[in-house]
């Protein structure tokens, strides 16, 4: 290889390594832990395929996650976020998975992993209305009043208004003053009436109103999951929409004392 080409190759490689190191050094300790958790072997190929779309490093940074927090994750589902949050909070924090007891069997194998030692199930009373196809939390009481954060990711749209009020009030009581409540969900057109296509979407303005009614202060929002080509018309599970839904991300806070 000619000397000039070799020199240019060395310069380019050095620049690439420097850029990568700078990008990594610009991350917070918690963001570094999230990136490390994303690379862990316990994660399935199916879950890894969603990483770019869900962008948990940026999303959890917006939600103000820190690795020493006590976190309530409402509606963990199959545990996509749980399998990341568990390792992040393992050494200094705590993670409570709040869902109906019968629905948390999907998390059993995950909870046997050694790095999930900071994770506990927190069963809550939830019933399903076949007519409305919505969930109605019952009398929810969390066994804590000092949680730092509550996460509600793509679950709020499943709640009927009374259930949402019950959950928001319970989370308000469970959080310490200054604690954060972060909600991510599929966007519905403002004031659009319910129909077969939008039932798994929700109006972000309605969410803000309901959460504020529980006593929370609206702190911030981000458009990181804005999708210009999601027309907000179709069911989120449709082949042409799935994985490309417009999602709102809202942050609330329990007022400090």
Predicted confidence at residue 133, as pLDDT, reads 84
Predicted confidence at residue 136, as pLDDT, reads 81
Predicted confidence at residue 118, as pLDDT, reads 96
| Whole-number Å distance between alpha carbons of 204 and 38 | 29
CATH architecture, range 29-253: 3-Layer(aba) Sandwich (3.40)
| Whole-number Å distance between alpha carbons of 134 and 160 | 6
Predicted confidence at residue 84, as pLDDT, reads 98
* Residues 6+ positions from 52 with CB-CB distance below 8 Å: none
Residue ranges per domain, the chain? 29-253
Using DSSP bridges, classify how beta strands 70-74 and 147-153 pair: parallel, antiparallel or unpaired: parallel
User: In a structure prediction context, what are the per-residue pLDDT tens digits for the chain, which is 257 residues long?
Assistant: 555 454 444 444 444 444 444 445 699 999 999 999 999 999 999 999 999 999 999 999 999 999 999 999 999 999 999 999 999 999 999 999 999 999 899 999 999 999 999 999 999 988 888 888 888 878 888 989 999 999 999 999 999 999 999 999 999 999 999 999 999 999 999 999 999 999 999 999 999 999 999 999 999 999 999 999 999 999 999 998 999 999 999 999 999 98
* Residues 6+ positions from 215 with CB-CB distance below 8 Å: 169, 172, 254, 255
Predicted confidence at residue 3, as pLDDT, reads 52
Angle between helices 204-213 and 161-174 (to 10 degrees): 50
Count other C-beta atoms under 10 Å from residue 114's C-beta: 7
Angle between helices 82-89 and 29-38 (to 10 degrees): 130
Predicted confidence at residue 22, as pLDDT, reads 40
Predicted confidence at residue 141, as pLDDT, reads 86
Predicted confidence at residue 129, as pLDDT, reads 83
Burial 200-227 (b: 16+ CB within 10 A, else e): bbbbbeebbebbeebebeeeeebeebeb
């Amino acid at each position: 290889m000619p000397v000039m080409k070799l020199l240019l190759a060395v310069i380019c490689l050095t620049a690439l390594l420097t850029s990568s190191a700078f990008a990594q050094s610009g991350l917070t300790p918690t963001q570094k832990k999230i990136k490390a958790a994303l690379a862990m072997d316990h994660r399935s190929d199916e879950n890894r395929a969603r990483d770019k779309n869900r962008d948990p490093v940026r999303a959890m940074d917006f939600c103000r996650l820190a690795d020493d927090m006590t976190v309530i994750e409402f509606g963990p589902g199959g545990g996509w976020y749980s399998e990341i949050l568990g390792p992040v909070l393992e050494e200094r924090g705590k993670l409570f998975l709040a869902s109906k007891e019968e629905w948390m069997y999907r998390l059993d194998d995950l909870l046997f992993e050694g790095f999930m030692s900071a994770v506990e199930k927190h069963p809550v009373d939830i019933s399903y209305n076949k007519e409305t196809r919505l969930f109605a939390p019952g009398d929810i009481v969390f066994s804590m009043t000092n949680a730092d954060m509550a996460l509600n990711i793509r679950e709020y749209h499943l709640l009927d208004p009374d259930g949402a009020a019950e959950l928001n009030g319970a989370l308000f009581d469970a959080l310490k003053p200054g604690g954060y409540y972060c909600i991510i969900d599929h966007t519905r057109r403002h004031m659009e009436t319910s129909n077969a296509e939008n039932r798994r979407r929700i109006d972000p303005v309605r969410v803000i109103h309901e959460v504020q009614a529980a006593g929370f202060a609206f702190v911030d929002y981000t458009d990181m999951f804005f999708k210009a080509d999601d027309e907000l018309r179709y069911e989120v599970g449709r082949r042409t929409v799935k994985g490309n839904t417009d999602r709102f991300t809202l942050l609330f806070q329990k007022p400090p004392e």
